[in-house]
Chains A and B, each alone.
Chain A
């Protein structure tokens, strides 16, 4: 159906055998545009909006190759080539934020996937549907609140005086006196990872539960007749059934590995844990907005986008080679 409707476009782009044919194609296209003017008026203004707000900023990438001074236009700046990239790769601070970003992303990825899949499997085993619904509704709650609210709650929970985490751990005898969790950098990655899970665990199960619901029930019945218990059914039917969804989400998440988290790190960061909490995005913000080094910050931003692209395509390629579902 699609193919026939864009015939007008196709004849203009594919080199037509004769010029007359080409002109006819253009004319046909213009006629269609006029005929569909309502649809054009309903969408084209938003495409213009899109170009201004999403595509125009790409020009700003040129800044990374200049010594950008605010006040002059982008064409009047001094060109410096890869100077800012060279600075970036020689900055020990850059390697520190890269380490933090990657560590936190990987922790988040591994913990996030395993817990969400486990919870989806367990929810699926609940027999009382009302109880299941209640658990689901409650588990979505933290996803909808802002990171500001979440951070406020996390800070209270981790507080050395009366914070529930300390109280509980002392009561259990895991630690003998309250710990200033957010004051010790080496804990930060895990605090971040667990906070993400607390916030998004329930939400992340939605897609898996939808995938589980689509598995053919006769598979379970057949397995039951063969005498398979619950764990075997989970392992041999449910998990393979949702594998395409898992792979798809993994690819997408690997593509966003460097974009994980700005807000939680920024909000939970303090002078004591900054060495472990500062992520690439915070690094960009610090140089760009606080220190007005626009060119350097943009170079770091470009690095992030390029690496994200490479990661996304590699993950996609790998999935294709392994014969798995893929993004494109």
Chain B
């Protein structure tokens, strides 16, 4: 009664000023977040030669697909994109399935090893062997210069386990138990009943895992940098970046780098290549994450509460 009366009260000018300022701040946030991407997109779609004059802001001045053609005709980059896609696909599928399975077992209250398995995983959040011992382990396991080094070390993330367990524990009681009464084994229950029920949290895990795999470059750099066949898109972009960084001060050097491999009709510059690769490396993510927003927000909340 009183509450609804209070809400309908006359809005004083102070409220109006606050609301307007608030909306303006939010608009500024949107611009600061989006402009750099938009600008990069414009540069990537602009003629490389023309871009060197500067002044590209929101729209390409001399529109062209040449930069994209160049990037994808460059055998290295096309292959690296393929490897990126492959590790994202394989890594995500493996992580989702394995995390779901282990998460299911530690959500079963009757499981004798429940405490042991949970603690073994959670402890690893607080320490790590460090860079060098891990590197030597990978060497001893003969994983260096193989594709599997992208997949095997990261099969299960502790955070993923925590949110999957929290989600299963939040399911209505008795769904899984009733299946047990019908005599189904645990693996059958996991596949037939648990998996379909936990799809929302698995969407979160898939997003985190996919983003991690797609974005990784350090493992490529550390373990597989001598094998161009296993390079990824992010690592290729990182190499371009390091080149730019090294030559940033001397414009002449960067120009020399620019014009040497380029033919007259297919002129590209490091700036244009970098912009184009930046867009190629971020578009898949930009296309996917908004649709999973509902899930990852829920997932973050689950993880946060449980921590």
A301 touches B132 (CB 8 A): yes
Q: Which residues of chain B have C-beta atoms less than 8 A from A32's C-beta?
A: 112
A321 to B113, CA, bound (A): 34
Q: How far does the Cβ of B3 sit from chain A's closest Cβ, in whole Å?
A: 4
Choose from A57, A122, A148, A149 the contact partner of B25 (Cβ within 8 Å).
A122
Q: CB of A86 within 8 A of chain B?
A: no
Given B56, B132, B278, B307, which contacts A252 in the complex, CB threshold below 8 Å? B307
Q: Given contacts A47-B117, A157-B36, A288-B135, are A42 and B187 in contact (CB under 8 A)?
A: yes
Tell me the smallest distance from the CB of A65 to a CB of chain B, in Å: 13
Complex contact B115–A284 (CB within 8 A): no
Contact residues, A1-44 vs B (CB, 8 A) = 1-2, 5-6, 8-9, 29, 32-33, 36, 38-44
Contact check: which of B112, B126, B190 meets A312 at CB < 8 Å? B126
Contact check: which of A52, A149, A161 meets B54 at CB < 8 Å? A161
CB-CB under 8 A from A206, the residues of chain B are: 297, 300-301
15 CB-based A-B contacts, threshold 8 Å = A39-B186, A41-B187, A42-B190, A47-B117, A55-B124, A126-B26, A141-B33, A141-B34, A146-B282, A152-B278, A202-B29, A202-B33, A210-B301, A221-B2, A269-B245
Which of B135, B274, B286 counts the most chain A CB atoms within 10 A?
A: B135
Judge whether B304 and A267 touch: CB under 8 Å: no
Cβ of B217: which chain A residues have Cβ within 8 Å of it?
Answer: 146, 148
**How many residues does chain A have at the interface if contact means C-beta atoms less than 8 Å apart?**
107
Q: In the assembled complex, which residues on chain A have CB atoms less than 8 Å from the CB atom of B116?
A: 9, 47
Given A6-B114, A40-B113 in contact, is the A54-B129 Cβ separation under 8 Å? yes
Alpha-carbon distance A182/B110, docked complex (angstroms): 57
B30 within 8 A of A: yes
Contact indicator A60/B111 (Cβ below 8 Å): no
Closest to B103 in A: A43
B interface, CB within 8 angstroms of A: 2-3, 6-7, 14-15, 18-19, 22-23, 25-26, 29-30, 32-37, 39-40, 43, 54-56, 98, 101-102, 104-106, 108-117, 120-121, 124, 126-137, 141, 152-153, 155-156, 185-187, 190, 211, 214-218, 222, 234, 237-238, 241-242, 244-246, 248-249, 251, 271, 274-275, 277-278, 281-282, 285-286, 289-290, 293, 297, 300-301, 304, 307
A152 interface neighbour in B111, B274, B297, Cβ under 8 Å: B274
Q: Which residues of B contact A202 (CB under 8 A)?
A: 29, 33
Least distance between B59 CB and chain A CB atoms (Å): 15
B contact residues around A221 at 8 Å (CB): 2-3, 6
Contact pick for A43, options B2, B105, B237, CB 8 Å: B105
A81 sits at the interface (CB 8 A): no
Q: Determine if A183 is an interface residue (Cβ-Cβ < 8 Å).
A: yes
A61 to B127, CA, bound (A): 12
A123 to B117, CA, bound (A): 40
Query: For the complex, would chain B's binding face be called helix, strand, loop or mixed by DSSP majority?
Result: helix
Closest CB-CB distance, B125 to chain A, in whole Å? 10
Among A87-95, A100-108, A224-232, the one that faces the other chain is A224-232
Query: 1/0 per position for A36-74, CB-CB distance to B under 8 A?
Result: 101111111011011111111111110100000000000
Residues of B within 8 A of A157 (CB): 36
A304 contact set on B, CB distance < 8 A: 130
**A36-B111 contact given A60-B130, A63-B132, A145-B215, CB 8 Å threshold:** yes
* Smallest beta-carbon distance A168→chain B, Å: 10
Q: Are A152 and B241 in contact (CB under 8 A)?
A: yes
A42-B102, A183-B248 known; A138 and B30 CB under 8 Å?
A: yes
Known interface pairs A43-B101, A126-B22, A229-B14. Does A285 touch B36 (Cβ–Cβ under 8 Å)?
A: no
Mostly helix, strand, loop or mixed at chain A's interface?
helix
Residue A140, interface by CB 8 Å: yes
- Kindly provide the distance from the CB of B272 to the nearest chain A CB, expressed in whole angstroms: 11
Closest B residue to A217 by CB, please name it. Answer: B3
Instruction: Chain A residues near B3: list those with CB within 8 A.
Output: 221, 224-225
**Interface assignment of A114: CB less than 8 Å from any CB of chain B:** no
Known contacts A202-B33, A270-B248; is A63 also within 8 Å of B237 by CB? no
Partner of B137, one of A50, A53, A134, A140: A53
A207 within 8 A of B: yes
Asked whether A109 is an interface residue with its Cβ less than 8 Å from the other chain, the reply is no
CB of A289 closer than 8 Å to a CB of B: yes
Whether the Cβ atoms of A61 and B133 lie closer than 8 Å is yes
Chain A residues with Cβ below 8 Å from B300 are 206-207, 210
Asked if A185 CB lies within 8 Å of chain B CBs, one says: no
Q: Decide: B132 and A149 in contact? CB cutoff 8 A.
A: no
Smallest CB separation, B52 vs chain A (Å): 9
CB distance from B189 to the nearest CB of A (A): 9
**Nearest chain A CB to B222 CB, angstrom units:** 7
The verdict on A113 contacting chain B, using a C-beta distance below 8 Å, is no
Q: Does A135 contact B281, Cβ atoms closer than 8 Å?
A: no
Q: Is A98 in contact with chain B by the CB < 8 A criterion?
A: no
CB of A249, distance to nearest CB on chain B (Å): 8
A56, A201, A312 interface centre (most CB from chain B within 10 Å): A56
B39 lies within 8 A of A289 (CB)? no
In the complex, the chain B residue whose C-beta lies closest to that of A197 is B32
A324 on the interface (CB 8 Å rule)? no
Residues of B within 8 A of A317 (CB): none
Q: Is the beta-carbon distance between B281 and A60 smaller than 8 angstroms?
A: no
* Distance of B155 from chain A, by nearest CB (Å): 6
A175 within 8 A of B: no
Known: A63-B132, A224-B7. A44 touches B246 (CB 8 A): no
Task: Give the chain B neighbours of A136 by CB distance below 8 A.
Answer: 293
Q: Is A75 in the interface zone, CB < 8 Å from B?
A: no
Given the complex, which residues of B lie within 8 Å of A198, measured CB to CB? 32-33
A148-B234, A248-B307 as given contacts; A56 in contact with B113, CB under 8 Å:
no
From known contacts A5-B112, A38-B187, infer whether A288 and B132 are also in contact, taking CB-CB under 8 Å.
Answer: yes
Kindly state whether residue A245 has any CB partner on chain B within 8 Å: yes
